[in-house]
Structure 1
Amino acid sequence: MQHVVTHGTFELDGGSWEVDNNIWLVGDDSDVVVFDAAHDATPIIEAVDGRNVVAVVCTHGHNDHVTVAPELGHALDAPVLLHRGDAVLWRMTHPDKDFRAVADGDTVRVAGTELRALHTPGHSPGSVCWYAREIGPGPGVVFSGDTLFSGGPGATGRSFSDFPTILQSISERLGTLPADTVVHTGHGDSTTVGDEIVNFEQWVARGH
């Protein structure tokens, strides 16, 4: 697994914020899946290094996660995957480009690993976490996008987002995974399901 960080802006509801985004590459020396397409295609293409790209997977449709998705799809000859619930968000960034819709339970296979889509709405209507029960000899891994971070749920309070829904998604979809499942996030440091879910009641009490 490889990790690339790109820098740019997240824009929504008339606001603009400087952000660093994590891009994750899963695969082997021949085939790879790219998680998220943030800001700048060049370092992502360099990390792919000529391998076959099975898919460019967008965890959700906010502009900082799909910035260069069509460009990557074209350059890497790969489908761009996104949940149809985020079609409106996608069109805000790419009004004349298409994506391949994914649904809860869909799978992508790469280098002997099965990645399963877990629809986790709340941060956005179409947010999807991708779970692999095992990658190599270690524990399971989930690529959470902006659904779950080290420190709590992804930000809500903007258009298209809903705090009770993201709490339900985390409880029902991520909270049931093994506690040692590694959470690779869309921004910031990785964590584990167990380290975060113990704080669930505090998130509920916070209410936003």
Structure 2
Amino acid sequence: MTYKGDVTVGGPADVHELTDLMISKVAVGPMDNNAYLLRCRATGEQLLIDAANDAATLLTLIGDDGIGAVLTTHRHGDHWQALAEVVAATGARTYAGREDAEGIPVATDAALDDGDTVRVGQVELTARHLVGHTPGSIALVYDDPHGHPHVFTGDCLFPGGVGNTFDDATAFARLIDDVETKIFGALPDETWVYPGHGKDTTLGAERPHLAEWRARGW
């Protein structure tokens, strides 16, 4: 079946099967957050991005093989409601951006800086530090050697714009600068974007609107 990335709370996961990595996307309530389970196809090792809520749903998705780690994209509470329960059940190592770690009420085992590598079995992903939505938001980039890149953006980039900066013009300027430089400036149009809420997109679909976003200020 073709991956579409369109999931609903209470519905099944959608699975994006790449050559070296399987990406399972599921939506959890009550704020329609996306959680992503990454599985190395060579080793079976797994990593969860955002234990947002509904621990039972996430643990069912993870299955009996467990997970090696959970990465929390940023400190906002709707992205870590199930983190303590998932970590307790799996013994997973925890990752978060260095500047956001203190705002997450589960200890961060590995604080991430821009350019750090996160491994899932034989697969390597790169952390990109994006400031503005929160001080320490982390996007995770998988540069697939067999195809186009994939980027997990948390709440920093969505279809139609960057993340909420709460009417703070300075934070908006910093966020759109970081997103333009570290995401759009570094990755091709074919890059698949997996956001923290809602449907997926590509950089090619969003790139023509960057000037519009900057002009409107959100």
The 2-side partners of 1:56 and 1:76 are apart by: 10
Aligned residue number for residue 167 of structure 1: 176
The 2-side partners of 1:2 and 1:207 are apart by: 33
Aligned residue number for residue 66 of structure 1: 80
1:147 and 2:134 are equivalent in the alignment: no
The 1-side partners of 2:77 and 2:154 are apart by: 13
Give CA-to-partner distance per residue, 1:147-186, whole Å, 9 cap, x none.
1001110111168x81111101111110121110000010
How far residue 59 of structure 1 moved from its aligned partner, in angstroms, is 0.6
1:51 and 2:65 are equivalent in the alignment: yes
After TM superposition, the score normalised by the length of structure 1 is 0.86
Aligned CA RMSD, in angstroms, stands at 1.7
The 1-side partners of 2:148 and 2:191 are apart by: 6
Alignment of 1:1-208 (within 5 A): 1-8=23-30, 19-28=31-40, 30-90=44-104, 94=105, 97-100=106-109, 101-134=111-144, 137-157=146-166, 162-176=171-185, 177-208=187-218
Q: Identity of counterpart residues, as a percentage?
A: 35
Count the aligned residue pairs.
Answer: 191
> Which amino acid in the other structure matches residue 23 of structure 1?
A
In the alignment, structure 2 segments of 5+ residues that lack a partner are 1-22
In the alignment, structure 1 segments of 5+ residues that lack a partner are 9-18
The 2-side partners of 1:158 and 1:125 are apart by: 15
Give CA-to-partner distance per residue, 1:85-125, whole Å, 9 cap, x none.
113432xxx2xx31121111111222422111000111111
Distance 1:195 1:187, change over 3 A: same
> Which amino acid in the other structure matches residue 27 of structure 2?
V
Do the aligned partners of 2:155 and 2:195 also contact (CA within 8 Å) in 1? yes
Do the aligned partners of 2:40 and 2:122 also contact (CA within 8 Å) in 1? no
How far residue 52 of structure 1 moved from its aligned partner, in angstroms, is 3.8
